[in-house]
Structure 1
Amino acid sequence: MERRDFIRTLGAASAIALAGTGRSKLTASSFALPKRNKSGIDHPLWKGFNLLDKFNPGHQTAFSEKDFELIAGWGFNFVRLPLSYWCWSSEDDWYKVDEKVLKEIDKAVDLGKQYGLHVNLNFHRVPGYCINNAQPLPTNLFEDEEPLKACCFHWKLFAERYKGIPSSQLSFNLINEAPSIETEKYDKVARQLIFTIREVDSGRLIIVDGKDVGTQPLMTLTDVPNIIQSGRGYAPMLISHFRAPWPGMKVLMDFPEKELSWPLTLDGKLLDRDAVYETSVAPWKSWIEQGGRVHIGEMGCYNKTPHPVAMAWLKDVFSLFKEQDWGWALWNLHGDFGVLNSGRKDVKYENYKGYLLDREMLELLKVS
């Protein structure tokens, strides 16, 4: 049997459990969801880190209690867990589930409660879509019904698994960084996933990444209750992703390091704090005016950016988010964007509990 035919067979078999999720046209009136309270959503100012233990299925590990202890000990209150469904399932069999891996995610949820950290479960890779997939996938979440049914299957699984855990402790983040596509296509997928979750757990807080890779609000969701939209803190990419190969941007690789600064003039245009405001804050005004809330699910600066430049830029970005009363999550805790073992060549690290700590960056985070 061909893989696509196999998936279609499984999709049909699961249709009973996913009744109502296969609509080809979905609008605000398609779901029996209550209207959002005009006062918006009350939640603490969440600040913390992305933990990547289930981000790469080839190198996945159990979540570390030490990470939760460190984050809480520093005074933060939030962890975002970007999850690849390949960690507990597979591209060849979307409906396969590895219970052992799911129990490791259960443990992370428990650790969040133990250490007073809100846990946000984010599907970074879903059937039919991932922002950083090296090769085109055989199906498209935003075009095809089969991967959308499978994605609903996995979110329903999580909704059932964590039903009863209050939204003060746990939230769901539907899809990481949807591509730049027609609003109607993203709205359809988001609504189906929200409906699938809310059929099981009507009160679950849901975070929806903004459209256009998390940079713009999805304004069609103004009627949906109990959601937060997630933005990004990476603008401009020349600073945040200097020398990073995966975006595929020539300027990131070719721009002379000795000319990199913050603020920066590029092609006659001044990139400064005001420019970051126009790119990363101003687009969300319309959503906020409708009573919507914003959280910055990812932000940070790659380790090839000279540290003084990175720190100057981060200070401006954090000051803007603080003015908006927005929380944020640094990508990541350990590694290229983090404060631990980040591999920067121009940082005087502090030996800290077995790690190399960028103390200057950590202290900035703590006051931001």
Structure 2
Amino acid sequence: MTVFSSILKTEGTKIVDASGKQVILKGAGLGGVLNMENFITGYSGHETEHKQAIEEVLGKEKTDFFFDRFYDYFWTEADAEFYAGMGLNTLRIPFNYRHFFDDDAPSVIKPSGFALLDRMVKRCAKYGIYVVLDLHAVPGGQNQDWHSDSAIHQALFWVHKDFQDRVVNLWVEIAKHYKGDVRIAGYNPVNEPADPEHTRLWAFYVRVEKAIREVDPDHILFLDGNTYAGDFSHFGKPLPNTVYAIHDYALFGFPGFEQYENKPEQYAKLVRQFERKVKVANEANVPVWNGEFGPVYEPETVYPGAPADIDVKENAATNVKRYNMLAAQLKIYKESSVSWSIWTYKDVGIQGLVSVSPDSPWYKKFGDFIEKKKRLGADFWGAHPDPSSDALYDALAEHFKKEIPEKFHKKMYPPLWDIKRQITRVSREIVLSSYLCYEYADLFTGLTEPELDELAKSFCIENCVKRDLLNKFLAEDAASA
């Protein structure tokens, strides 16, 4: 178990403690709770509209009751004990700015946000787990996706200085609160930024670093690269005591793409992808933290709402390929001595180390809806669109390609997304998903507080199932550090 002897700091390309001993941070992100994402818990749309739709059905009192229970059950001391028992020493806690201030009173910081974070930090600390505080959703959205709690495909955070002012002020208050706290590994000022102009992100980092250092000169800052934590080419002179944070997802780990077969050329591709992302950090002599990576998995049990033709044996064979890809990535990270945080710790069976049981009240209530979302492709992570649904978007993409001159096909940011990806992001993952959120919320109709409590308890680790092979790979890597 980790003993918190001092605040961590950077020294060249290493993260070290006060004695100068290298500390490699290994763990997971706690997605889906203080920043909610639809594929993680099974709802539809983005977080704010999801909560508003439920409140329309349940009323404010019952809605608050349900989410209070949900927040408490999602990460308990039992989770921390299991997690530390695997040898994992760090938890990345994503949170939404809305826990700390309301849009109509942005200068008023709510103590309730600190109460939620403090409870999680305390539970981590009991088992020697460092915490990285990750601001995962900011006013206006820092990227073009729903997981920044935005219902539009524009990142307005970079356009409006007022939004940036609010976030700088929030980080000052967080830094005041955790100044000198050895349990905190550091601050992740903004998750997966995506600034189309590329220059505004670095200007923001320079500004927020200065503001934080005025109240907390010691904690590490984990700075995500631009364009979803993949591009550091527009970073300026490295700021003191900072780590560059990449996200290293590989398409081998997702359905619909080439699967990992342990071929040398596939491994070489993983290496090239990683080396491209860490190139700037290596040249600048700055440590690297891989803040997110990991494949998604196919269901290996029949669950409520599962399609009649589900082939659990075939799914298990597919998952072995994805575990092999993960093992290859862990090998790359180990050889480079980089810290990592896999995405994500707990969910409804897509990626998590721990997942809601198919026999749980949660799956019995929402299983059919979750399967409908997969069939329609309403969220990218859990999508398994049927051919007839996919054909509609193929036809629409062809229409766009025909009508838009080819020289403009890559004009939309980020240019690595083709026309179909841009179309499906907006039409499927934002508009369709927003409509579906009302169908999801309607499933809460008439539920009593005891029933809501039982639903939330589905996320207690005692009621969950563990992804044993994934956890074995992670535990073995943690033990080898």
Query: Normalization by structure 1: what TM-score?
Result: 0.75
Distance between the aligned counterparts of 1:143 and 1:72, measured in 2? 41
Distance between the aligned counterparts of 1:200 and 1:232, measured in 2? 29
1:125-204 equivalences in 2 (<5 Å): 125-131=137-143, 132-133=145-146, 134-136=150-152, 140-166=156-182, 169-204=184-219
Q: How much does 1:292 deviate?
A: 0.6
Q: Which residue is 1:22 aligned to?
A: none
Q: How much does 1:208 deviate?
A: 0.5
Please list every run of 5 or more consecutive structure 1 residues that lacks an aligned counterpart in the other structure: 1-35, 243-251, 346-351
The answer to whether the Cα contact below 8 Å between 1:197 and 1:204 also exists between their aligned partners in 2 is: no
The answer to whether the Cα contact below 8 Å between 1:94 and 1:127 also exists between their aligned partners in 2 is: no
What letter matches 1:49 in structure 2?
A
Of the candidates 97, 106, 114, which is equivalent to residue 109 of structure 2?
97
What letter matches 1:142 in structure 2?
W
* 1:234 aligns to 2:249 (yes or no): yes
Q: Which residue is 2:287 aligned to?
A: 293
The answer to whether the Cα contact below 8 Å between 1:72 and 1:116 also exists between their aligned partners in 2 is: yes
Aligned CA distance change for structure 1 residues 183 and 136 (closer, same or farther; 3 Å): same
Distance between the aligned counterparts of 1:92 and 1:137, measured in 2? 23
Distance between the aligned counterparts of 2:12 and 2:254, measured in 1? 38
Aligned CA distance change for structure 1 residues 39 and 84 (closer, same or farther; 3 Å): closer
The answer to whether the Cα contact below 8 Å between 2:158 and 2:195 also exists between their aligned partners in 1 is: no
Comparing 72-81 with 88-97, greater Cα deviation is found at: 88-97
Equivalent residue of 2:137, what SS?
A: strand
Please list every run of 5 or more consecutive structure 2 residues that lacks an aligned counterpart in the other structure: 1-9, 17-21, 37-46, 52-66, 299-314, 359-370, 372-460
Q: Which residue is 2:472 aligned to?
A: 363
Q: Which residue is 1:273 aligned to?
A: 267
Q: How much does 1:70 deviate?
A: 1.2
Of the candidates 14, 28, 34, which is equivalent to residue 54 of structure 1?
34
What letter matches 1:281 in structure 2?
E
Equivalent residue of 2:156, what SS?
A: coil
Distance between the aligned counterparts of 1:220 and 1:341, measured in 2? 38
Distance between the aligned counterparts of 1:328 and 1:302, measured in 2? 17
Distance between the aligned counterparts of 1:169 and 1:145, measured in 2? 29
Q: Which residue is 2:345 aligned to?
A: 333
Q: How much does 1:137 deviate?
A: 7.9
Q: Count the aligned residue pairs.
A: 305
Q: Which residue is 1:261 aligned to?
A: 259
Aligned CA distance change for structure 1 residues 316 and 137 (closer, same or farther; 3 Å): closer
What letter matches 1:362 in structure 2?
N
Distance between the aligned counterparts of 2:259 and 2:473, measured in 1? 19
Equivalent residue of 1:61, what SS?
A: helix
Answer with 1 or 2: which has the greater Rg: 2
Equivalent residue of 1:128, what SS?
A: coil
Q: How much does 1:91 deviate?
A: 3.7
Aligned CA distance change for structure 1 residues 264 and 164 (closer, same or farther; 3 Å): closer
Aligned CA distance change for structure 1 residues 86 and 233 (closer, same or farther; 3 Å): same
* 1:205 aligns to 2:184 (yes or no): no
Distance between the aligned counterparts of 2:114 and 2:83, measured in 1? 23
Q: How much does 1:44 deviate?
A: 0.9
Measured on the aligned residues, the alpha-carbon RMSD in Å equals 2.8
- Looking at secondary structure, tell me which structure has more helix per residue: 2
What letter matches 2:260 in structure 1?
W
Query: Normalization by structure 2: what TM-score?
Result: 0.58
The answer to whether the Cα contact below 8 Å between 2:250 and 2:295 also exists between their aligned partners in 1 is: no
Q: How much does 1:49 deviate?
A: 1.2
